[in-house]
Structure 1
Amino acid sequence: MTSVGSSIISALNAGSGIDTSALVSNLVKATREPKETAITSRQTLNTSRISALASAASSLDTFADALTEVLSGTAYTGTASSNDASIASVSLLSGGSPTGLPAQLTVEQLATARVISSGATSGATSSTAIGTGSFTITSASGETTTITIDSTNNSYAGLASAINATNSGVTARVVTDATGTRLVFKGETGADNDFSISVTADDSGSVLAGLGWDGANSGTMTSTSAPQNAKITLDGVEYEFASNSIDGAIPYLRIDLNKAAPGTTVTLSMSQPTAGLSDLLKEFVDAYNTLMKALNTATSTGTDSSTAGVLNGVSGVRDMKRQLAAITSTPLSATGAYRTLADIGITTNRDGTLTLDTARLATAMENDPEGVTNMVNPKVSTTVNPGLSTLMDTVRDNIQKDNGPLKLAQERYAALAKDFTKQLEDLDVKMASYEEHLTGIYSAMETRLSALKATQSYLEQQIEMWNNSSN
C-alpha cells in the first residue's frame, strides 16, 4: 500500500534530491532578464546618439576647415608677381591681401653690410693658433661684445665659432685659399649697422694682434664693403630700408631686392585667381548637401520608433540644421548688388539642402565679377563683409558653443551613459542579494524535506513491523 507521506515525498521528488542550485539560477535569470534588457536597450540607443552627435560635430568641423583652406589658397586669392624677378621678386605675407597693386618699383641701390677681411697667413689652417687675449666688437650704437681667447678657442676656427655664438650681429668665417688662411667678418645690412674691432693680445706679434679695425684699413685688415641702406622708388615715392627684404612697403607683400637697376622700372602686381569661383560654389553646394543629407537621415521620424533616425527629436541637432539653413540669407557683404548667397542663385530647400541656380550665378558673375568675388572671398574679412569661410566658421562656433543646444545634448547623453552603467551595476548587486536570499530559502526547505524523509523511513519500518506482527 502507498502511504500519504510517500505520495508527498514522491511528488516533491525528494527521494532523488531537489536541484536547488538550478532552481535558484532559473528564478534569478527570469527576474533579471527583463530588467537588464530594458536598461541595455536604452543604453544602446544612448551610445548611438553620443556617436552620432560626435560625428555630426566632426563633419561640421571638417566642412568649415576645408572651406577655409580652399579659399585661402592661391587659386582663389591670386598670386603676387614681378615682371623682372632678377631685379625684385615678390611673395605674399599671411594675414590679408596686398592693396595698391599694380605698383611701379625702381631699385636705386641695394642694402649692404660692413665686410672686413684679415690678411692671409701662408701655410696656416683653420686650426692654427692665432694667439691669446681678448677680442671686442663695438657696434655703431656703442654696444660691446668681448670674447676671451684662451687654450679652448685659440685658433682661426675657435675665434670664428665664438663670434658666431654671441649673436652680436657680426658673423665670422674662416677662408683658406691658395694664398693662405684668413678671417672674414660681416655685419648686418643697413647704414646704422656698422661696427669696429679692438683687440688686446698677449703677444704683439700674433695674428690676433693684427685683427683690430677702427674704420681705416691697415696692413692686416681691409674693409671690402661699407654698410648702406637699400634705396627704392615706389610709385614715385623714395624710400630707404636697412634690408633687401622689405615687408613694410606694401601691406601683406614681401619685396626681395636682387640687384640695383637705376632707371629700370619693375611692375609689381597680383594675378587674378586661376580657378573659377563658379566651380568652387558648385563644390560647396555638393559638400554642404552631403552634410545636410546625413543630418536628415539621423533625424528622420521614420514610420515608427524602430525606423526613426537615431537623433530624431534631439534639440541640439534641430538647432544645428536651423543655423546651417540660414546661411543663404545671411549677408556676406553690406554693399553692392550681391550681398547674400541667395542673391547669386544659392537657395535653401525645405529639407535644408541647397540648390544652385547656375544661370543666375552666371549672370551675377557676368554683371559684377569683382563684387561677387569680394562678397564670397574678401581680401580682408570684416564684420560687415565676413566672406563665406568666416561665415561658416561663425556658424560652426555658434553651434558648438558652451551651453548651446548641441553641447547640452552631448553632456546630457554623456550623463545618461554613466547612469545606465550605474543601473547595471546596481542590478548586479540586487540580483546577487536575491540569489543569496533564494538559496537560503531552498536550503532550509531541503533540510526540512530531508528530516521528513527520515521520519517517513522510520514510520514505514514501524508499520511494516506492525503488519508482520498481526500476521
Structure 2
Amino acid sequence: MTSVSSSISTALGVGSGIDTTALVNSLVSAARDPKQKVITDRQSLNSARISALGSASKSLDAFADALNSLLAGTGYSGVPASNDASIASVSALPGGTPQGLPAQLQVQQLASGRTLATAPDQNVSATTLTGAGTLTLTVGGASKDIELTASSTYADLVSAINGSGAGVTASLVTDTQGTRLVMKGKTGEANDFSLSADSPELEKFAWSKAGPNSGSSFASVSAAQDAVILLDGVEQHYASNTIDTAIPYLRIDLNKASPGTSVTLATTEPTTSMRDLMVEFVDAYNTLMKALNIATAKGADSSSAGVLNGESSIRDMKRQLSQMTSAALSTTGSYKTLADLGVTTNRDGTLALDTKILDKAMAADPSAITQLLNPTVKSASNPGLAGLMDSVRDNIQKKDGPLASAQSKYETLAKSLSAQLEKLSDQMTDYQAQLTKIYTAMETRLTAIKATQSYLKQQIDAWNNSDN
C-alpha cells in the first residue's frame, strides 16, 4: 500500500500542465510586433531617402567635376606649343588653362651652376691623402664645415661634400690625362659657392669667385648665373632653365640662348569643337535629370512612388538646374545663354539640343561661342559653362539650403527611430518580466491546488479500499 508521505511528495511534484513560457512569449510578441513593424518600416524608408539624397548630391558633384575636367583637357583648350623648340619648349601644367597666349619669348641667357675642376694629375687617385684640417663650403651665405684628418683621402673628401647637404656635388673623374676633382653647384646666381681652408695642406682646395686663392688647384669651368628671358618685352630672371611661373599653367623649358631671336608661344587649335561639348553636356544633364525624375516619381500608390516623392529639396534642385538654360553666360554679344545656342527644356525637365541653331551660331561667330562656353579668363559676367555649373552646384549644396536641411532632417529622424526601437525593446523586456512574474505565481498556485486535489483523491481512494 502507498504511504501517506509518498503520496504527498508525488502530488506536490506534479505541474499545472500550462506552458507559461510559450504563453508569455506569445503575449509579448503580440504586443511588440505591430509597433516594431511600424518603426522598422519607417527606418527602411528613411534610410532609402538618406541614401537617395546622398546619391543625388554625388551625382551633381560628378556632373560638375566631369564638366570641369572635360573643359580643362587639351581637347577643348588646345595644346601649348613653341615655334622653335630648340630654343624653348613648352608644356601644360595641371590645374588650369595657360593664359596670356600667344606670347613672344627671347632667351637672352641660360641659367648655369658654378663648376670647378682641378688640373688632371697622374699622381692623384681616390686613395691619395688630402691633408688634415677643415674646409668650409659656403653656398648662398650658408656654410658647412668639411673635417679632414691625416688619414683622409680624396674619396673621403668627395663623400663628405656630397653628404654635407650644401647642394654641391663632387666627383673624381679619371681619364688618360689623370684624375680631376670636379665640384658642381645648382643653377642660379644665388647658388654660387666658395671654399676656404684653415691649413696650408688644404689651400689647394680653396677657391673664391673673387679670385682663386694662392696655391689653389681649382679652375672655374662655368659661372653661376640666372636665366634671363624677355617675355613680351619684359626682362625676367630665373634660377632654373625650367620656368613654371612666368605664364600661369605653362612650363617653359629653356634649351638654348639666342639673344635677338623671338620664339612664339601659342596654343594649338582645340581638337574637339564646342558642338561636341554641347552634345556631351546635354546628354550628361539628361542622365542626371532622369535619375531625379525616377526618385521623385508619384506612382499609382506608395509602393510604386519614388523614394523622394514630395521631397521639396529635390524639387528645388530640379528647379535650379532647369534655370541653367536661361542663365546669362555673357552680358555682351549676340549669344548670351544656352537657349540662344538651341538648348530647350522638355516637359520632364530634360534638355533638347537643336543642332541646326547651334551650327548656325558656330558658323556665324565660332570664337564668340568658344569664349561664351569656355572663356580663356573666367569672370562673374562670363563664367563659362563649367563656371555656371559650379555656381548652381554651390547654391544647391550650401549649408543652409533645402538639400542640407533635408539631409539633416532625415538623419535626425534616423536617430529618433533608433531611440524609439530601443525604448520599445526596453518596454517589452519589462512587460515580459511582469507577465513572467504573474504566470509564475499562477503556476505555483495551480500546482498547489492540483497537488491538494491529488492528495485528497488518494486519501478517499485509501479510505474506500480500507472499508472493503
Same fold (TM over 0.5): yes
- The one-letter code sitting in structure 1 at the alignment partner of 2:203 is A
2:120–2:180 Cα contact (<8 Å) kept: yes
2:8 equivalent in structure 1: none
1:63 equivalent in structure 2: 63
Instruction: Indicate the SS of the match to 1:198.
Output: strand
Structure 1 residues 291 and 149: CA distance shift in structure 2, 3 A: same
Q: How much has 1:333 moved relative to structure 2?
A: 2.0
Q: TM-score, normalised by structure 1?
A: 0.85
Instruction: Give the distance between the partners of 2:19 and 2:247, measured in 1 at CA.
Output: 94
Instruction: Give the distance between the partners of 1:389 and 1:328, measured in 2 at CA.
Output: 13
1:156-206 alpha-carbon deviations (Å, 9 max, x no partner)? 3443444445555644333233333322223444556644332223xx3x4
Structure 1 residues 420 and 313: CA distance shift in structure 2, 3 A: same
- The one-letter code sitting in structure 2 at the alignment partner of 1:371 is A
1:425 equivalent in structure 2: 422
**1:213 aligns to 2:207 (yes or no):** yes
**1:302 aligns to 2:296 (yes or no):** no
Instruction: Indicate the SS of the match to 2:117.
Output: strand
Instruction: Indicate the SS of the match to 1:380.
Output: coil
Instruction: Indicate the SS of the match to 2:113.
Output: coil
Structure 1 residues 469 and 191: CA distance shift in structure 2, 3 A: closer
Instruction: Indicate the SS of the match to 2:198.
Output: strand
1:286 equivalent in structure 2: 283
Instruction: Give the distance between the partners of 2:327 and 2:362, measured in 1 at CA.
Output: 19
2:310 equivalent in structure 1: 313
**1:375 aligns to 2:333 (yes or no):** no
Q: How much has 1:34 moved relative to structure 2?
A: 0.9
1:113-171 alpha-carbon deviations (Å, 9 max, x no partner)? 332112234354445442232223456x7x25241323599443443444445555644
2:42 equivalent in structure 1: 42
Instruction: Give the distance between the partners of 1:103 and 1:316, measured in 2 at CA.
Output: 48
Instruction: Indicate the SS of the match to 1:114.
Output: strand
1:117–1:222 Cα contact (<8 Å) kept: yes
Instruction: Indicate the SS of the match to 2:337.
Output: coil
Tell me whether 104-113 or 31-40 shows the greater mean CA deviation.
104-113
2:185–2:191 Cα contact (<8 Å) kept: yes
When the two chains are superposed, the root-mean-square deviation of aligned CA atoms in Å is: 3.2
Instruction: Give the distance between the partners of 1:257 and 1:118, measured in 2 at CA.
Output: 29
2:144–2:164 Cα contact (<8 Å) kept: no
2:362–2:369 Cα contact (<8 Å) kept: yes
**1:392 aligns to 2:389 (yes or no):** yes
Q: For this pair of structures, how many residues does the alignment match?
A: 452
1:153–1:162 Cα contact (<8 Å) kept: no
The 5 Å alignment of 1:240-255 reads 242-247=239-244, 249-255=246-252
Structure 1 residues 313 and 129: CA distance shift in structure 2, 3 A: farther
Structure 1 residues 308 and 122: CA distance shift in structure 2, 3 A: same
The 5 Å alignment of 1:29-428 reads 29-93=29-93, 96-122=96-122, 124-126=124-126, 128-138=128-138, 143=141, 145-151=143-149, 154-165=152-163, 168=166, 170-190=168-188, 194-201=192-199, 204=200, 206=201, 208-214=202-208, 215-216=210-211, 220-234=217-231, 242-247=239-244, 249-262=246-259, 264-428=261-425
Instruction: Give the distance between the partners of 1:144 and 1:43, measured in 2 at CA.
Output: 67
Tell me whether 327-336 or 117-126 shows the greater mean CA deviation.
117-126
Q: How much has 1:263 moved relative to structure 2?
A: 5.5
Instruction: Indicate the SS of the match to 1:183.
Output: strand
1:6 equivalent in structure 2: none
Instruction: Give the distance between the partners of 1:356 and 1:313, measured in 2 at CA.
Output: 29
Structure 1 residues 129 and 275: CA distance shift in structure 2, 3 A: farther
Instruction: Give the distance between the partners of 2:344 and 2:443, measured in 1 at CA.
Output: 79
Structure 1 residues 23 and 259: CA distance shift in structure 2, 3 A: same
Instruction: Indicate the SS of the match to 2:380.
Output: coil
Structure 1 residues 253 and 306: CA distance shift in structure 2, 3 A: closer
Structure 1 residues 364 and 153: CA distance shift in structure 2, 3 A: farther
Q: How much has 1:234 moved relative to structure 2?
A: 5.0
Instruction: Give the distance between the partners of 1:255 and 1:345, measured in 2 at CA.
Output: 40
Unpaired runs of at least 5, structure 1:
1-13
Structure 1 residues 235 and 386: CA distance shift in structure 2, 3 A: closer
1:286-344 alpha-carbon deviations (Å, 9 max, x no partner)? 11111111111111111111211111122222222222222222222222222221221
Q: How much has 1:236 moved relative to structure 2?
A: 6.0
- The one-letter code sitting in structure 1 at the alignment partner of 2:267 is M
Instruction: Indicate the SS of the match to 1:131.
Output: coil
Q: Percent identity?
A: 58
